[in-house]
C-alpha cells in the first residue's frame, strides 16, 4: 500500500496507517529517498538552506536521508496533527497564550478540549466534522512568571498540555513547554517584557554537517558556549536545527534569530512549497520563548556574492558591480518570494518581528535593514569599518555578518601542514572552505616560513577584526545600533572558515577577542593609527559601555600611554547609567620623539565596586 510522500526536512510528517495495520499482522515500511544535487546554484529547487549551498560546508556532501526518529503512534478517534502555541502578550498582571490545533477525526462528534498552563486549566467544547478540523482558542494566565533572556532575569518554563476528550476519555494529548514573555521591535532594537536589550550575537550553522549525527550534548553545548561567550543571541543561519538546541536556548535564556532554510537564489517553482514550510516552521517552533525573530531568506541573490575567485582589481569591480545591481534592482527571490514568505510568517505568528530577508543594502528611502559587512575580508581594509559607520550610520543599525577566516587550532590534519608551503590549495578551497585569494591579500602564506606561523597570524588577524568591529558597534549602542551577529561561532565540519571555534570546539584567538569584547562592561577608546610619527597630535575619545541593569556609581577610568623611555597618564571619575554608553573624556597627546621604531601602547582601566574592565591598544612609532 502507498502511504504518502514528503517534502521538507525539518517538520515531522504523519501518515494514517490504521487500515493497513488492521488488514494484516506483519508489515514492512519501505522508504524511497531522493535529495538531488543542484545543477544551477542560482536557481535551486531543494529547500535545504545551507546544507546544499554554503561556503562553510563541503559542497560535495549530500544531506539526503532519514535524520529524525521514525515511530508508530496510537491515538483515539481524534488526533492532534499540529499544535501551534504562541504567547501573544505578557505582563505583570496577565499573559495570553493563543493556540491553534489541526485535528483529524474519523467521525462527526463533539469533543472537550482541556488546556493547562501555568496553573490554569481551561475546558471548552467543540463540534467536529469527519476529517480535518481546525480550532483556535486562547488561555489567560493571571500573574504569570515571566521568561527573560539570561542578561535580564530568570527563565521559568511551563508545561502546556492540550487534551482532546471524546466520550469521557482522552483521544489524544500533546505537551509543549512554553515561556511567557512579550517582544517588541522598534528601529532595530529588541525589547523583552518592556526591557530594551542590545543584542550581542553570532551566526551558527549546523552543529554538525550531518545534523542528525550530532549528539544531544553537542547541541546543548553550542548554546552554553554562546552564553559563556557573553552573547545574547544565536542566529541559526540558513537552517532549522533539532529540538535539543531550542530546549537548551529556552532553559539558558539564549535568544534565537531563526532563519528559514533559504540561502541565495531559488527557482520560481519553489514558491508554493516554501510558503507551506514557512507555516510549518511556526507550527514547530512558535512555543519556544527563546525564538525572538524570523528571517525568511538569507541574501536572496541569484549570484554567488563572494569574492574568493576575484584576484585582480578588475575582477573585484566586476563582481561588486553585479552584487550592487542585484542589491538595488528588483528580482524574483527578494521581491516576490521573500515578500510572500514574510506575509505568511506574520499571519501565522504575529508575535515576533519578521525580516523578509537578510543582508540586502537598503534602498533609498527604505529606512534601512540589517547589513553584512566584511571589511578586512571582502569589502576593503578592516580599519575602514569605523569610517563606514560614521559616513552611513544606517548601515550600522544591525550588522548581522562580519568576520575573517582563520586556520583552526585543533586537528589540522586535513590541511596536511607537513606539505608547507605547497599545500593542496585547490582541495582546501573546494572541500574545506579556505579562500586563498583573500588570504593572499590579508595574511599571505608566502610571508611565513612555517604552517604554524601562518596559522597563528591568521588567528591574530581574525581576532583584530572581531575586536574592533564589536567595539565600534557597541560604542554606537542604540544610536543607531541595536546589536550585531558575528560570523560565525562554531564550525560544523573540518574547515578554514570565519568561525571562532573549530569543528572540535577548540577556540581560535578570535574567540578570546569575542569574549573580551562582549563582557557586560567594557572601556574603549577610538582606535590608534597603525603607525604614528614623533610630534603627531592624537585626540582619542574614551567611552564606557555597560549592559548592566544597574548604574555604575563613582566609576574611575584611567588611561596610560607608554613608549620606550616614558609614559603619560589620565584619570576621570563619574557615574555610568544602566544599559548605557557614555563618553568619559578625550585623550589629547603628542607622540614623543624616539630614536628608533618602537611600540606606543594605550592601556585603559575602569574600576568601581566589584566591576573592573581593561583594554589595550598599540601602534608603532616610526621616526622620519
Domains of the chain listed by start with CATH number: 78-178 (2.60.40.10), 191-518 (3.20.20.80), 525-621 (2.60.40.10)
Residue 358 φ then ψ, to 5°: -125, 145
Average pLDDT over residues 161-170: 95
Entry pTM: 0.95
Q: Are 206 and 51 in contact (CB under 8 A)?
A: yes
Q: What is the pLDDT of residues 290-311, one digit of tens each?
A: 999 999 999 999 876 555 555 6
pLDDT at 93: 96
CA atoms of 461 and 470, how far apart (whole Å): 14
Rg (CA), the chain: 27
Q: Which of 250, 181, 194 is nearest to 219 (CA)?
A: 250
In the structure, what pLDDT confidence band is assigned to residue 554 with cuts at 50, 70 and 90? very high
Question: What's the gap between Cα 134 and its chain centre?
Answer: 33
Q: What is the pLDDT of residues 212-270, one digit of tens each?
A: 999 999 999 999 999 999 999 999 999 999 999 999 999 999 999 999 999 999 999 99
Q: Are 612 and 606 in contact (CB under 8 A)?
A: yes
CA distances from 183 to 90, 138, 419, 504 (A): 9, 18, 53, 35
pLDDT at 329: 80
Question: What's the gap between Cα 563 and its chain centre?
Answer: 41
Any bridge partners for residue 86, and if so which? 98
Residue 399 φ then ψ, to 5°: -95, 110
Residue 441 φ then ψ, to 5°: -80, -40
Cis status, amide bond into 421, omega within 30 of 0: yes
Under DSSP, is residue 48 helix (H, G, I), strand (E, B) or coil? coil
CA atoms of 612 and 95, how far apart (whole Å): 39
CA atoms of 453 and 458, how far apart (whole Å): 9
pLDDT at 318: 73
Q: What share of the chain is helix, strand, coil (3-state, %, to 5)?
A: 25, 35, 40
Query: For strand 537-546 and strand 521-525, is the pairing parallel, antiparallel, or unpaired?
Result: antiparallel
pLDDT at 190: 98
pLDDT at 311: 60
pLDDT at 324: 72
CA distances from 380 to 317, 373, 377, 531 (A): 12, 10, 7, 19
Average pLDDT over residues 265-280: 97
CA atoms of 366 and 148, how far apart (whole Å): 32
pLDDT at 317: 72
CA atoms of 190 and 180, how far apart (whole Å): 16
Amino acid at each position: 500500500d502507498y502511504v504518502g510522500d514528503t517534502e521538507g526536512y525539518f517538520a515531522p510528517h504523519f501518515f494514517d496507517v490504521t487500515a493497513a495495520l488492521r488488514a494484516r499482522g506483519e508489515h514492512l515500511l519501505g522508504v524511497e529517498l531522493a535529495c538531488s544535487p543542484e545543477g544551477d546554484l542560482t536557481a535551486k529547487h531543494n529547500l535545504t538552506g545551507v546544507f546544499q549551498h554554503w561556503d562553510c560546508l563541503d559542497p560535495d556532501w549530500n544531506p539526503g536521508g532519514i535524520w529524525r526518529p521514525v515511530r508508530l503512534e496510537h491515538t483515539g478517534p481524534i488526533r492532534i496533527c499540529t499544535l501551534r502555541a504562541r504567547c501573544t502578550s505578557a505582563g505583570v498582571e496577565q499573559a495570553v497564550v493563543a493556540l491553534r490545533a489541526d485535528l483529524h477525526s474519523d467521525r462527526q462528534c463533539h469533543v472537550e478540549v482541556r488546556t493547562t498552563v501555568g496553573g490554569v486549566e481551561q475546558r471548552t467544547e467543540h463540534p467536529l466534522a469527519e476529517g480535518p478540523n481546525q480550532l483556535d482558542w486562547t488561555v489567560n494566565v493571571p500573574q504569570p512568571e515571566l521568561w527573560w533572556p539570561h542578561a535580564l532575569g530568570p527563565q521559568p518554563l511551563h508545561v502546556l498540555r492540550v487534551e482532546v476528550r471524546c466520550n469521557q476519555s482522552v483521544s489524544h494529548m500533546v505537551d509543549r513547554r512554553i515561556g511567557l514573555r512579550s517582544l517588541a521591535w522598534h528601529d532595530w532594537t529588541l525589547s523583552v517584557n518592556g526591557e530594551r536589550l542590545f543584542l550581542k550575537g553570532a551566526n551558527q550553522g549546523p552543529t554538525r554537517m550531518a545534523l542528525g549525527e550530532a549528539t544531544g550534548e553537542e547541541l546543548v553545548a553550542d548554546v552554553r558556549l554562546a552564553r559563556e561567550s557573553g552573547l545574547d543571541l544565536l542566529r541559526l543561519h540558513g537552517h532549522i536545527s533539532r529540538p535539543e538546541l531550542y530546549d537548551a536556548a529556552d532553559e539558558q535564556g539564549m535568544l534565537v534569530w531563526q532563519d528559514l532554510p533559504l540561502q541565495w537564489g531559488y527557482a520560481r517553482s519553489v514558491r508554493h512549497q516554501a510558503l507551506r514550510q514557512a507555516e510549518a516552521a511556526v507550527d514547530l517552533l512558535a512555543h519556544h520563548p527563546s525564538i525572538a525573530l524570523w528571517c525568511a531568506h538569507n541574501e536572496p541573490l541569484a549570484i554567488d556574492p563572494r569574492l574568493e575567485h576575484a584576484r585582480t582589481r578588475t575582477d573585484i569591480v566586476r563582481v561588486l558591480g553585479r552584487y550592487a545591481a542585484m542589491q538595488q534592482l528588483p528580482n524574483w527571490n527578494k521581491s516576490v518570494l521573500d515578500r510572500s514568505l514574510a506575509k505568511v510568517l506574520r499571519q501565522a505568528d504575529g508575535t515576533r518581528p519578521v525580516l523578509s530577508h537578510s543582508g540586502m543594502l537598503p534602498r533609498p528611502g527604505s529606512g534601512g535593514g540589517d547589513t553584512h559587512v566584511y571589511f578586512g575580508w571582502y569589502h576593503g581594509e578592516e580599519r575602514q569599518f569605523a569610517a563606514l559607520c560614521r559616513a552611513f550610520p544606517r548601515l550600522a543599525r544591525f550588522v548581522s555578518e562580519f568576520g575573517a577566516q582563520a586556520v583552526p587550532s585543533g586537528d589540522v590534519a586535513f590541511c596536511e601542514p607537513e606539505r608547507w608551503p605547497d599545500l593542496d590549495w585547490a582541495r582546501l578551497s573546494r572541500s574545506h572552505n579556505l579562500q586563498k585569494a583573500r588570504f593572499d591579500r590579508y595574511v599571505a602564506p608566502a610571508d611565513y616560513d612555517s604552517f604554524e606561523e601562518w596559522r597563528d597570524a591568521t588567528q591574530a588577524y581574525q581576532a583584530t577584526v572581531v575586536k574592533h568591529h564589536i567595539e565600534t558597534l557597541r560604542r554606537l549602542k542604540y544610536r543607531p545600533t541595536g546589536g550585531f551577529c558575528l560570523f560565525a561561532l562554531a564550525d560544523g565540519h573540518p574547515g578554514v572558515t570565519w568561525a571562532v571555534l573549530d569543528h572540535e570546539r577548540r577556540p581560535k584567538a578570535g574567540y578570546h577577542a569575542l569574549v573580551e569584547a562582549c563582557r557586560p562592561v567594557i572601556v574603549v577608546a577610538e582606535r590608534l593609527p597603525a603607525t604614528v610619527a614623533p610630534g603627531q597630535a592624537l585626540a582619542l575619545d574614551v567611552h564606557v559601555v555597560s549592559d548592566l541593569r544597574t548604574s555604575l556609581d563613582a566609576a574611575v577610568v584611567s588611561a596610560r600611554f607608554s613608549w620606550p623611555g616614558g609614559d603619560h597618564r589620565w584619570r576621570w571619575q563619574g557615574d555610568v547609567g544602566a544599559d548605557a554608553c557614555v563618553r568619559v573624556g578625550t585623550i589629547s597627546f603628542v607622540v614623543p620623539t624616539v630614536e628608533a621604531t618602537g611600540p606606543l601602547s594605550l592601556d585603559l582601566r575602569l574600576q568601581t565596586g566589584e566591576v573592573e574592565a581593561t583594554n589595550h591598544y598599540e601602534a608603532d612609532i616610526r621616526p622620519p
